[in-house]
A and B are shown apart, each in its own frame.
Chain A
Amino acid sequence: MTDPALALTDVTFAWPGRGGFVLSCADFSMSRGETVLLLGASGSGKSTLLSLICGIVAADAGQISVSGVDMKTLGAGGRDRFRAENIGVIFQQFNLLPYASIADNIRLPLRFAPKRRNRAKDSLAEAARLCAALGLPDEVLRTTAGRLSVGQQQRVAVARALIGQPPLIVADEPTSALDAATQDTFLGLLFDQVASAGSSLLMVSHDERLGARFDRVLRIEDIATSQRAVA
């Protein structure tokens, strides 16, 4: 039996100095290649959960495993390296480096992930292939983010997350800035590429209409509780 793509067991975390916000997650796992939509309202702890899964912050207690690796066994530097190698991130706000070319934006994660870099081989050709697969014309590679439409920027963000085929893709409300028609097209392209890379996809959103495409739809309350201490 292979390790799950992601597993959280009895995880608790409190942001230091942020009004006593505490997140707890008793049990949650994803199998490899699975797509999961996690629904939750603003302030419900979705972003904190993603920070924990990505190893940006370490859990105060419990266990988080990605591709069978217990994040607790890694130091801060080790978690950074692990994240670079194993997790592709898509932001709500796209978050492309505005001054860098699209080619450099897409290839940025490879700078910190030798295994992904090896898998991508010719990184520029791979960036071009992903752009083409996501419906972006070849010439966008040479332009900067500011010259692209919102939809194009979101596709570039997907290409950046997928390059080098990381086992887990984490997406934080990537469709919130898109209209309904564009959302559908975008999700179609995203799912095609996630499937092609064999990656697992964990997307958080507050939009329940997206659920039809996913293997599983969960509410954050189903897997985690959050509370804010009253001062």
Chain B
Amino acid sequence: MILRLAAQSLWARVLTVGMTILAIALSVALFLGVEKTRTGARASFADTISGTDLIVGARSGSVQLLLYSVFRIGNATNNVTWQSYQDIAARPEVDWIVPISLGDSHRQFRVMGTTDAFFTRYKFRGGRSLGFSQGQGLNDLYDAVIGADVAATLGYSVGDPIIVSHGVASFTEHDDQPFRVSGILAKTGTPVDRTVIVGLEAIEAIHVDWKNGGQTGRTTPAEVIRQMDLTPTAITAALVGVNSRLQIFKLQRWINEYPEEPLLALLPGVALQELWQIVGVAEKALIGVSGMVVVTALLGMMAMVFASLNERRREMAIWRAMGARPMTILGLLVLEAMLMAGIGAILGYCLLYVGLLGLRPWVDSAFGIWLPIEAPSIRELWVVTGVVGAAALASLLPALRAYRLSLADGMMVKI
């Protein structure tokens, strides 16, 4: 009965209580949204690469190499010569090696040159392999395999032509050598979904008439290009698998000390840890700010309870006259605050999931972060419990005031 009366009391002040609940709901949704995005980003990054022992690129920062080679974020400052690549591939520790060549784009999507080995060696999300939802791999020089998001965003299907642009943000197109979509990859939740994959030789082919970053003015026919030696002179990076995990560090040291050119070999997991350390400060700041928003909403609730105390003195006097102890009055106000916070937290959760449902595809395609819609985690349940607990604590101050008022007014308040 007390719970029902507390709920009815809240309902009687639906406008002010509703605004308070909405403020709590929005703050909880923001807090959990930040948390969801943070964990989603970590999971998405961690799931992006699996089974690759080393990533090799021109010497730079390890995080930079990881970002441009795996996540297609940023650009390489230098390339790896084909000779160096072959030297690494010839090492006895190497089980497999996949070259990747980046630099061009199609619409807003990166174009990556690689070999067929990429489709079998690239693993994600704990060892899953790439699969085709339509078509097949690279069988012709001008074949292109596109990721699921590329196909969905641009409405491509197998057989459609693709014109590759030179560079990442360029208006110059390699329109003299169009590609054809030979296959569409199944959704992976990784940057591969937003990548156009072509053969390594194809990258050389479209740059036959280019020199030092500019067009030479010649237009070599495709038939002639097909007859040319299209072995690349340089690549952007390489993914490496070793025969034995015990050999990883030996190979890494050899590559890092490679005398012919400055190279960097990194362990993806270690580079990811470095990345988390860098973004950790921003994460904490975000969590702190969103936490303060929750605190502000709870302070707003406390102010609302304080403001309503005077007009509720008669109500408290009724409770006292009926036999309620001052502690019951205190408990009633705390219960009301917990109800408000509980409803606000649940509403916040609902808002979060509605937001996730609406924004998830956009976040995925824009940032490559897959935000899972799943049952609340233990940590999230603790957050909700914490909000309700904090609301109980915040309401103690006005509740104690009500306690004192009910002692002073007794049942004879005349207001």
Contacts and interface: CB of A to CB of B under 8 A. Distances in A.
Given A98-B12, A111-B2, A77 B410 contact: no
B412 A112 contact: no
Contact of A104 (B5, B323, B410, B414): B5
A57 B320 CA distance: 11
Interface residues of B, number: 26
Given A98-B12, A111-B2, A56 B412 contact: yes
A5 interface: no
What band does the interface of chain A fall in when counting residues whose beta carbon is under 8 Å from B? 20 to 34
A97 B410 contact: no
B321 interface: yes
Given A51-B410, A93-B314, A172-B412, A99 B8 contact: yes
A66 to B, nearest CB: 13
B347 interface: no
Interface in B313-366: 314-315, 317-328
Contacts of A107: 1
A157 to B, nearest CB: 10
Which among B315, B321, B414 has the highest number of chain A CB atoms within 10 Å? Answer: B321
Interface in A104-126: 104, 107-109, 111-113
Given A56-B411, A57-B410, A111-B2, A95 B321 contact: yes
Contact of B411 (A54, A76, A85, A100): A54
A108 B315 CA distance: 12
B292 to A, nearest CB: 33
B73 to A, nearest CB: 56
Interface in A49-89: 50-51, 54, 56-57, 76-77, 80-81, 83-85, 89
- Report whether over half of chain A's contact residues are helix, strand or loop; otherwise say mixed: helix
A86 to B, nearest CB: 10
A108 B8 CA distance: 14
A99 B318 contact: no
Given A95-B317, A97-B318, A85 B323 contact: yes
Contact of B410 (A56, A81, A95, A160): A56
14 contacts: A47-B414, A51-B410, A54-B410, A80-B325, A83-B323, A84-B322, A95-B314, A96-B318, A97-B318, A100-B5, A108-B318, A108-B322, A109-B322, A109-B323
Interface of A: 47-48, 50-51, 54, 56-57, 76-77, 80-81, 83-85, 89, 91, 93, 95-100, 104, 107-109, 111-113, 160, 172
9 residue pairs, one from A and one from B, having the closest CB atoms: A84-B323, A112-B323, A99-B12, A56-B410, A47-B412, A99-B8, A80-B325, A89-B321, A109-B322
